[in-house]
Structure formats: structure tokens, C-alpha cells
Amino acid sequence: MPPFEAAARLVYMANQIGKFFEYQRQDEVVPGIANHVRKFWDPRMRKAIFAYLDAGGDGLDPKVKEAILRLKAQEVGA
């Protein structure tokens, strides 16, 4: 799969997770998204979404972007 297709797929998946969590209590949305990605995404997928975020993160919903930033800070210390 070409890199742009892989990135588009990850963005789609992350935004779908965000859509699920948007109906949770407001203070649980970002932590819920981050926890789901941490638990269920392969480390290579997380590394790819972190790199995508570093390149601007176009297309990621705001709460998803916040969750990925939080997760990256926890995992990478960035």
C-alpha cells in the first residue's frame, strides 16, 4: 500500500474511533481515544500516526489530534 493510502487509512480509522467517543462524557473523549489507540493499534501504526501528526495531521478531527498528541507525549516523551 503506498504511503499516502496508508496514512489516509490511519486518519480514517482514528476519526472513526473519535466518532465513537464523541458521545462519552466530555472529560472522557480525549483520554478514551488515546487509550483505545494505545491498546489496540500495533506500535507501527502508532509510529505512523505520530509521524503523520508531525507532518501537520491534516484531516484528523480536533479531539483525535489532541488524543494522538497526548499519546505521543506519553510514549515518545515528545
Tens of pLDDT, residue by residue over 17-30, are 999 999 999 999 99
Listed residue (41, 33, 31, 36) closest to 9, CA to CA: 41
Angle at 42 between CA 14 and CA 75, to 5 degrees: 80
DSSP label at residue 77: -
- At 28-71, the pLDDT tens digits run 999 999 999 999 999 999 999 999 999 999 999 999 999 999 99
Q: What is the pTM of this model?
A: 0.89
Q: Give the pLDDT score at 76.
A: 80
What's the rounded Cα separation, in Å, for the pair 52 and 37? 15
Number of neighbours of residue 40 by Cβ within 10 angstroms: 10
